[in-house]
Amino acid sequence: MSAGWALRDCSFRLPAGRICGLVGPNGAGKTTLMGIAANLLEPTAGSLRVFGAAPESAEANRRTAFLAQKKPLFRLFTVAETLRLGRELNPGWDQRAAEEIVRCGDVPLHAKVGTLSGGQRTRVAFALAFGKRPDLLILDEPMSDLDPLVRHELMNTLFAGAVEHGTTVLLSSHLLDELAGVCDYLLVVASGGLRLAGEVDALLGAHTWVTGVRTGEGTPEDLAPHGVVESRTSGQQISALVRPYGAITGSWQFGAPNLEDLPLAYLRSPDAPPLITPSAQVAGHTGPKETAA
């Protein structure tokens, strides 16, 4: 493949009913992965299953909704017509939910989509995806052009809907703090490969910040038997993000990493071994890429 791999060595499963954040640097393959799940792209190699079905199957198509990064909508349609589009093309359409999302932003129903602001258009696109009442909702950079207030409101809508209907949500974002309050599952992809996958609590619990006095060059002896993801020195102080494989000996101070530190540390250290929790591991590990939502 001349353009290089967008995504490779990436096998995981996403359990149903989770709100999963997909994190990675630009060009890591987030959009590619989402496009494959939404049946916009076909993988060069490997396979992806949505609820056990191929993404191109009618079953998967009916149960999946996708909100693309650029939120493309028909510019000449009015907001009401855009919602009618969803109603006409989806058997399980939830008009009330879609209209409520639009109304909360004071978006006039009879305005042409082309005349709306970026944030309002995002809201309409969001309503179109949400009104489908999907079992898997894929959101590619959904919040990038929303102000914090609206972002918070839509996230709450998403969260409430997901909890109520058991919707699985896969959303990609650059804004790690935004994911922190919402996601209970995390996927980190970098340079085409999977770096972290699993429940947020399990991932955070498996790591610890270690701070202490630097005694020599390189990795301190006390930390050597453990997995050091990243270490930083400033003066005589060394602080490291460690995946402990047992009790850490020595005089160290411990701290809990947050959801912002962890992906960044893994993205900065391409040599650190990936961590994939048991719930995210694919049984048998057959294909190079696999999802079971």
Partner 1 sequence: MTTLTGIPAPAAASRSARGPRLRGLTWLVRRQHWAAFWTVLAATVACVALIAFLRAGMMDHLHTIGWPHPTGENWERDVRPDADRLSSAGSALGFVPVLLGVFLGAPLLAGDLEHGTAKPITSQSVTRVRRLAMKPGMTALVVTVCAVAASAAFSWWYEPLKAIDMPPQGWISGVFFDNTGPVPVALTLFTILGGVAIGMLLRRVLAAMAVTFGFAVAVPLVGSYLRMDLGSVVTMTTHQGVGEAASPELPGRSLPVGPVLPHQRRQTHRLGHLQQRNDRAGPSRLPGQGTRRRLVGGLPSRLADERHAVARRRNPVCPHPRPRGVRPPPGTQTTGLTFVSNRETDDMSRATSIEVRAPQSGA
One of 125, 143, 262, 276 touching partner 1 (CB under 8 A): 125
For partner 1, the closer of residues 88 and 271 by Cβ is 88
Considering only residues 149 to 188 of the shown chain, the ones binding partner 1 according to CB under 8 A are: 152-153, 156-157, 160-161, 164
CA distance 36 to 55: 7
Compute the least distance from the CB of residue 114 to partner 1, in Å. Answer: 11
Under the criterion CB under 8 A, does residue 88 sit at the interface with partner 1? yes
Site size toward partner 1 (CB under 8 A) is 49
Exposed e or buried b for every residue in 264-280, given b needs 16+ CB within 10 A? Answer: bbbbebeebeebbbeeb
Under the criterion CB under 8 A, does residue 145 sit at the interface with partner 1? no
Compute the least distance from the CB of residue 175 to partner 1, in Å. Answer: 20
Under the criterion CB under 8 A, does residue 10 sit at the interface with partner 1? no
CA distance 29 to 40: 14
Considering only residues 233 to 252 of the shown chain, the ones binding partner 1 according to CB under 8 A are: none
Among the residue ranges 130-138, 209-217, 223-231, 248-256, the one whose residues contact partner 1 (CB under 8 A)? 130-138
Compute the least distance from the CB of residue 282 to partner 1, in Å. Answer: 26
Compute the least distance from the CB of residue 133 to partner 1, in Å. Answer: 7
Using CB under 8 A as the criterion, what x/- string covers residues 45-84 for binding partner 1?
A: -----------x-x--xx-xxxxx-x-xxxx-x---x--x
- The pairing of beta strand 208-213 with beta strand 253-255: antiparallel
For partner 1, the closer of residues 126 and 252 by Cβ is 126
Give residues in contact with partner 1 (CB under 8 A): 38-40, 56, 58, 61-62, 64-68, 70, 72-75, 77, 81, 84-97, 100-101, 104, 125, 128-130, 132-133, 152-153, 156-157, 160-161, 164
